[in-house]
Amino acid sequence: MTDTSNRKRRSKKRGGPAPSTFDKPPIVTNHEITVAGEALRYSAHVGILPLKNDEGDNEAGIFYMAYMREGVEDRTSRPIMFSFNGGPGSASVWLHLGALGPKRVQTMDDGMLPPPPYHVIDNEQTWLTDTDLVFIDPVGTGFSKPRSPEVGKKFWGLQGDIQSVGDFIRLFLTRFQRWSSPAFLVGESYGTTRAAGLAGHLIDRGIALNGIVLVSSILNFQTARFCKGNDLPYVLFLPSYTATAWYHGCLAPELQKDLRATLAEVEDWAAGPYAAALAKGDELTPEERQAVIARLSRYTGLAESYIDETELRVNIHRFCKELLRSQKRTVGRLDSRFKGIDALAATEYPDFDPAIAVITPPYTSAFNDYVRGVLKYETDDVYQVLGTGIKSPWDWGSAGNGYPDTSDALRSAFSKNPHMRLFVASGYFDLATPYFATQYTLSHMGLDPTLRGNIATGEYEAGHMMYVHTESLAKLKADVSRFIGEALRR
């Protein structure tokens, strides 16, 4: 019996998918869209690459969708960008059909979604004008599967996830002969955690990046974990609370005039007097306490009595429920412009995130129609969009006892590759990964002063997925296009 037959027999005995399902040659189709009045021709490659163990057995398959611009004379000089979303447990559909790819889900200009059915349209803001694109679905997301749930545990953790996506990138560069191409990463949400970790992982394996784009970033989880004894999130979330209150018209008239001016004022107070007051704890005098309560009420739109009852510390879920309680509405966590309706207005936390509720059906249905009808990828498998394909708790490793943090891996990559550049995009109305928390993380990386100029940031008047807002979509494209050009000129 051949070795291949033995492997098939072992896989069947374990009850997992046959090894052949973990290595499917791509289905290639050719397309054309119009961008800025000019034809952009490209090929789409949709397939699965295998992840193997040390014995050479296939343990999982990673589904990918790659877009290559046609008419390029020297493919080795053409940039290539690897893209993934977050979760952990999210497929790459959001960046794919929201901002980067040649097609995007049709939305209203303000990011709100039209009634069903949902469709994709040509994306005139596609990043394919500047770089080839590879969308990666990590194991347990999209159509990517492990051999079995037990084997999947190897990939469902901070380090296993970084290693597996790194292995995919290495194999893709090999199979598509792109080792000489300028290489970029783009991650969103937990995908930024992954991207920072990958920067350190890949440079140690001989893959140096030209640049990284972080969309709605979280690298240091201490900035977002509302735990007793950790006052940092209360400070760092405050400007985003203010932005949300501004959007819904809950602030005093003088604070409603200029969002950026108001935020600058709040940032200074949050990082200074507010942080100092929280550090005092029970030593805060009654007069000092009342002064803080009054200022917090002014900057959040919440009642002074409510802030007093929360001990000057309003966590994200309470804020989302409380801000519009009098209207019997909640605000979204991923995008606080969105409103939700709970069963009872009297409860402490929202029943659901209205932002997720609004965006999930359009992206799910549009992708399933697009991947089969346009990209010609035929399968009866469920495309695992968000969380449902991960069959065990996420393994945070030693960081599970504290706060996961991949910012040091990013710092290390900068030190080893001083030519690498970083662009970080944040939404003012993002209550999941607040922009002020991102600024804090970037300024506390311990980066050498000579490398700080390699980092650029951009803020947008939208939420976590700022690209659902048409104006922000165009601004993000312009910012990233400029970033890629600058990274390639170094």
pLDDT value at residue 454? 97
pLDDT value at residue 20? 64
In this structure, the number of other CB atoms found within 10 A of the CB of residue 395 comes to 16
Phi-psi region at 149: left, alpha or beta (left = phi > 0; alpha = psi -120 to 50): alpha
DSSP line for 189-214: EHHHHHHHHHHHHHHTTT---SEEEE
Start and end residues for every CATH 3.40.50.1820 domain found in the chain = 20-222+362-489
Please tell me the pTM assigned to this model.
0.94
What string of pLDDT tens digits covers the 490 residues of the chain?
Answer: 344 444 444 444 445 666 667 888 899 999 999 999 999 999 999 999 999 999 999 999 999 999 999 999 888 889 999 999 999 999 999 999 999 999 999 988 777 778 889 999 999 999 999 999 999 999 999 999 999 999 999 999 999 999 999 999 999 999 999 999 999 999 999 999 999 999 999 999 999 999 999 999 999 999 999 999 999 999 999 999 999 999 999 999 999 999 999 999 999 999 999 999 999 999 999 999 999 999 999 999 999 999 999 999 999 999 999 999 999 999 999 999 999 999 999 999 999 999 999 899 999 999 999 999 999 999 999 999 998 999 999 999 877 668 999 999 999 999 999 999 999 999 999 999 999 999 999 999 999 999 999 999 999 999 999 999 999 999 999 999 999 999 998 6
pLDDT value at residue 8? 42
CA-to-CA distance for 385 and 379, rounded, in angstroms?
A: 15
pLDDT value at residue 21? 78
CA-to-CA distance for 77 and 480, rounded, in angstroms?
A: 18
CA-to-CA distance for 196 and 412, rounded, in angstroms?
A: 10
Q: Which residue type is seen at 95?
A: L
> Are 184 and 212 spatial neighbours (Cβ–Cβ below 8 Å)?
yes
Q: In the block, which residue shows the tokens 């052949």?
A: 20
> Are 430 and 334 spatial neighbours (Cβ–Cβ below 8 Å)?
yes
Q: Running DSSP on this structure, what letter comes out for residue 383? A: -
CA-to-CA distance for 187 and 86, rounded, in angstroms?
A: 7
149 alpha carbon, distance to own chain's centre: 25
pLDDT value at residue 291? 98
Q: Give domain 20-222+362-489's CATH superfamily.
A: Alpha/Beta hydrolase fold, catalytic domain (3.40.50.1820)
Q: In the block, which residue shows the tokens 């601004």?
A: 475
Residue count of the chain: 490
